[in-house]
Amino acid sequence: MSNPRYSGPKQYLKIRTQNKNEILEDYVETISELISSKGEARNADLALHFGVSQATINKNIKRLVALKLVKTEPYRSSFLTDEGKKLAESSKIKHEIVLNFLIKLGVSNKVAEEDSEGIEHHVSTETLNFMRKFTNKK
């Protein structure tokens, strides 16, 4: 009996990679939003936003620094590098496209916001382009 779904090692590798990148995208997007709204992105604000400990924030910020997405200075906030800004903007755009698509389908704003937060990290460029076209139709 053949399985009609596409799955295999390549698909699972892609999903694992997307899962790893999900945290990076969420962090840079949130840092960007905090800088825009508060003028800075403090670790305490990130911990509050994500509902995690300062230790978790520190670990993830170190990872972002190692990937050259974020810069930090002792006793200062986190700042996005040019690469971090690009990733934050890309993540924001994907989130907005998915959110608008779900709302246009009739999904409530609350559920659309919750669902788009996960979908944005796993949607392909092809699907995203169709979502964008669909939401731009009158």
pLDDT tens for residues 12-45? 666 666 666 788 899 999 999 999 999 999 999 9
User: Which residues have C-beta within 8 Å of that of residue 117, sequence separation ≥ 6?
Assistant: 95
Q: Per-residue pLDDT tens for 68-122?
A: 999 998 878 899 999 999 999 999 999 999 999 999 999 999 999 999 988 988 8
pLDDT at 13: 63
Task: Give yes or no for residue 10 having a pLDDT over 60.
Answer: yes
Sequence-distant (≥ 6) Cβ neighbours of residue 108 within 8 angstroms: none
Which domains are present in the chain? 9-136 (1.10.10.10)
Closest CA to 53 of 62, 61, 44: 44
Tell me the C-alpha distance between 39 and 32, whole Å: 9
